[in-house]
Amino acid sequence: MSRLWLFQLHYHDILHDLACHTESSQLAAAWQFVESWLDAFPVESRRQAADAWHPYCIARRIPNWIRLWFQRSPSGTVASRFLESLWQQADFLSRALEWDLRGNHLLEDLRGLAWATVFFGKDASPGWLRLLERHVPSQLEEQVLPHGEHIERSSMYHLAMLDGVLDLAELLPDRLPAVAESCRRTASRMAAFLEAILLPDGEIPLLGDSCFGEAPSVESVLRRARSLDVYAPGRPTETPAGRVVGPYWAYREADDMFLFDAGPAACDWLPAHGHADLFHVEIAAAGKRIFTDSGVFDYDDSPERSYCRSTAAHNTLEIDGQNQCDVYSRFRMGRRGHPTRLAHGRHGDLYWATCSHDAYRFLGIPSVRRYVVCRPGGPWVILDRLNTRTRGTHRLCSRLHAHPDIELTAVAADRITFAAGDRSVVVTPVGHNRLELTESTYHPEFGVRMPRPCITLRTTSPPATIVGFAIHFKEIVDVSLDETAVRLRL
C-alpha cells in the first residue's frame, strides 16, 4: 500500500461522514473505529507507528475527532481514553510543526492545533495559543500571494488551504481577535481568486498537483465564506471579457472559458506540487471541459507520477522531447524556467494575452513566447513562437489533451472535429502544419486512469518558428499567419 493511502487512513475523514448521521448505529460504528485506533496506536507507539503519529496526519485527524465528539460523545473509559489521546496528539503536534516542509503542511498543522486549543479551552497547553499567535499571521503572509493564490500553485491545495483559513477565522475570534481578523482578510482574497479560475462547471482546473475528491467541495467552501461574510459572489459576465488575476488570464463568454496560466511552474523554495507546465491552457465550451490538465494519479515514484508532472501531460509546447523543468523523484524540481510579466489587452473584438519563458535556454533557445487570442464566437487561437536568436535545429510538439467525454466526429490532417454537449468544435493548425490524433491519459482522481484523445502538432525549427492551433465554434474562419511580425488574419 502506498504511503499516500496510509496517510489517508490516518486522517479519519470517514468520521466526518459518519458524524453527519443521526442514526445511532452509524455513530456507534464511528466510535468503534476510534476505539480500535486507540488500541492500536497509543502514545508509546509513536516511534514505531510513524504514519499514525505523523504531524500532518494528526493535524488532519484532530478536527474529525472533535466533530464526532460534538455529534455524540461516548461514555465511560472510551471518553477518558479519547480525551487523553487527543491532548497527547495535540501536544505532540505542537512540538513537531513541519518547518522542514512548510507550505500547506505547516498551515494544516496550525489549523489542527487551533481546533485542539479551542476544544480543550482552559485545559489546553498555554504554549499552543502562543504558537498560533506567533505563526498564523506570518504563515498567511508567506503562503498567500497578493492576488490571493496559495503559493504552491495547486488549485486543489488552494481550495484546501482556503478551507483551513476559514476554520482559523471561525475558531480564533475569542482568543486571538487580531489573528482571526487577519484570517478573514486573507480568506476574502483567496475566495476571490478561487472564483476567478473556476471553470464553467463550477469546479477547479486541475493545475499542479490537483485532482477531484480530496479537498472539500468548491460549493461548501464558498458557502462557508459567504456565511462568514468574507466573500460575495461576483456578478456573472454578460458580455465577453478577458480578466487578469495575478499571472492568469481568463476569457469568459457565456458558458465558454479560456484559462491561460502564465505563472511560474512552482514556488521556487517549495516546488513539491509543481509541474513542468509553463503556459498550460484550459478550455471549456458550452459549460463542458474540452481541453484539460492530466490531473494526478499518485504520489509514488511511479511512471504515472513522472508523466503527470511532465510537459507532455499539459496543453503547452514541448521542445526536443524535454521537460521545461527538471522534475524528478516524487516531489523534486531542479532546473526550471521562469515566465516574464503577463501582457494583455483588447484590439477591436479581439481579446489577447501574451507571455514568454526561458525554460528551454539549456537547449539554446533564449525564450519561447505564447500568444492567446479570443474572438467572441471564435476562433480562439494559441501560438508559440521561438526566439529569433535560437541556435540549432529543434523538434517542436504542441498538444491539446481532450476531456474523455468529448465525441470525435471527424479526423483529418487539416482539421479535427468533435462534439462538446450540443456544440461542434473544430481544431485546425495555424501555419503549414498537420494535426495528429494520439492518445493520452486523464487522472481526475487519485488512482484513476482514463484514456482520452490528444490533438498533437509536430514540426521542426527551422524552418518553422511559430506553431499553434485555432479553435472554431460557430464556423471555420480562415486563420493565416505572417511569421515576420506574428500578425494574424481572421
Cα separation, 110 vs 158, whole angstroms: 16
pLDDT at 483: 61
How big is the CA angle at 102 (ends 101 and 103), to the nearest 5 degrees? 115
% of the chain residues with pLDDT over 70? 97
- HSE (side-chain half, CA atoms, 13 Å) at 301: 3
pLDDT at 25: 81
Neighbouring residues of 245: CB distance < 8 A, sequence distance ≥ 6: 147, 148, 192, 193, 196, 197
Cα separation, 18 vs 38, whole angstroms: 18
Q: Is the pLDDT of residue 105 over 70?
A: yes
Of the pLDDT bands very low, low, confident and very high (cuts 50, 70, 90), residue 484 is low
Q: What is the mean pLDDT of residues 152-169?
A: 98
Domain ranges of the chain: 3-227, 242-489
Q: Is the pLDDT of residue 8 over 80?
A: yes
The pLDDT tens digits of the residues spanning 359-409 come to 999 999 999 999 999 999 999 999 999 987 888 899 999 999 999 999 999
The pLDDT tens digits of the residues spanning 242-265 come to 999 999 999 999 999 999 999 999
Q: Which of 258, 253, 256, 298 is nearest to 280 (CA)?
A: 258
User: What is the signed CA dihedral for 100, 103, 106, 110, rounded to 10 degrees?
Assistant: 160
pTM, entire model = 0.95
* Residue 320: burial class (beta carbons within 10 Å; 0-12, 13-18, 19+): middle
Q: Is the pLDDT of residue 108 over 80?
A: yes
* CATH architecture for segment(s) 242-489: Distorted Sandwich (2.70)
pLDDT at 238: 64
Of the pLDDT bands very low, low, confident and very high (cuts 50, 70, 90), residue 489 is low
C-alpha cell at 42: 497509543
pLDDT at 463: 81
Task: Output phi, psi for 208, to 5 deg.
Answer: 60, -150
Q: What is the mean pLDDT of residues 77-85?
A: 96
Q: Which of 424, 422, 357 is nearest to 385 (CA)?
A: 357
The pLDDT tens digits of the residues spanning 209-224 come to 999 999 999 999 999 9
Most confidently modeled of 5-14, 20-29, 286-295?
Answer: 286-295
Of the pLDDT bands very low, low, confident and very high (cuts 50, 70, 90), residue 5 is confident
Of the pLDDT bands very low, low, confident and very high (cuts 50, 70, 90), residue 240 is confident
Domain covering 3-227, topology: Glycosyltransferase (1.50.10)
Cα separations in angstroms, 489 against 470, 477, 479, 486: 12, 10, 6, 10
Of the pLDDT bands very low, low, confident and very high (cuts 50, 70, 90), residue 485 is low
Q: Is the pLDDT of residue 15 over 80?
A: yes
pLDDT at 237: 64
Q: Is the pLDDT of residue 239 over 90?
A: no
Give the range among 17-21, 83-87, 147-151, 289-293 with minimum mean pLDDT. 17-21
Residue with cell 452509524: 26
